[in-house]
Chains A and B, each alone.
Chain A
Amino acid sequence: MSKVAQSVEVKCSSDTLMDYIIDITNHPAFIGPLKSVTNIKGDVKKPGTSWDWVYSLAGVELSGKAETIRFVPGKEFTYKTTTGAKSTFTYRADPAGAKTKLSLNVEYEVPTNALGKMKASVFEKLNDAEGKKVVENLKVVLEG
Chain B
Amino acid sequence: MRPVLPWIAAYLAILLVWALIILRRTGPTLWKGRSLVAVNIAFVLVSTAAVLLKGRTLGDGMGGVAWCCFPPGFIAFDLVLIIVAVVVRNEWLLFRISHAETAAILERCFKQTRAPWVRRPGGYAVDCAGVDVRATIQPTLFGAVSVGFAGGAQSKKAALLRSLFGKHFHSSFPTPRIRA
Complex interface: stretch among B63-71, B85-93, B142-150, B169-177: B169-177
Q: C-beta contact mask, A20-36 vs B, less than 8 Å → 1, else 0?
A: 10000110111010111
Evaluate contact between A63 and B129: CB separation under 8 angstroms.
no
* A60 nearest in chain B by CB position: B176
Q: C-beta contact mask, B159-170 vs A, less than 8 Å → 1, else 0?
A: 010011001100
Evaluate contact between B180 and A84: CB separation under 8 angstroms.
yes
Evaluate contact between B157 and A144: CB separation under 8 angstroms.
yes
> Does any Cβ of B come within 8 Å of A140's Cβ?
yes
Nearest-neighbour CB distance to chain A for B5, whole angstroms, equals 33
> Does any Cβ of A come within 8 Å of B50's Cβ?
no
> Does any Cβ of A come within 8 Å of B115's Cβ?
yes
* B130 nearest in chain A by CB position: A144
Evaluate contact between B163 and A32: CB separation under 8 angstroms.
yes
Docked pose: A32 CA to B129 CA in angstroms: 19
Evaluate contact between A61 and B129: CB separation under 8 angstroms.
no
Evaluate contact between A28 and B129: CB separation under 8 angstroms.
no
The residues in A between 123 and 144 inclusive whose CB is less than 8 angstroms from any CB of B are: 137, 140-144
Q: Which residues of A contact B120 (CB under 8 A)?
A: none
> Does any Cβ of B come within 8 Å of A2's Cβ?
no
> Does any Cβ of A come within 8 Å of B119's Cβ?
no
* A65 nearest in chain B by CB position: B180
Evaluate contact between A63 and B114: CB separation under 8 angstroms.
no
Docked pose: A77 CA to B167 CA in angstroms: 24
Nearest-neighbour CB distance to chain A for B177, whole angstroms, equals 4
> Does any Cβ of B come within 8 Å of A112's Cβ?
no
Q: Which residues of A contact B115 (CB under 8 A)?
A: 144
Q: Which residues of B contact A34 (CB under 8 A)?
A: 167
* A interface residue numbers (CB < 8 A to B): 20, 25-26, 28-30, 32, 34-36, 54, 56, 59-64, 81, 83-85, 137, 140-144
Given known contacts A62-B180, A63-B178, A144-B115, what 11 new A-B pairs fall within 8 Å (CB)?
A: A28-B112, A30-B160, A54-B177, A60-B177, A61-B177, A62-B177, A63-B180, A83-B179, A140-B129, A141-B160, A144-B130
* B interface residue numbers (CB < 8 A to A): 109, 112-115, 128-130, 156-157, 160, 163-164, 167-168, 173, 175-180
Supply 5 A–B pairs (Cβ within 8 Å), ascending by A: A29-B160, A29-B164, A62-B178, A63-B179, A64-B180
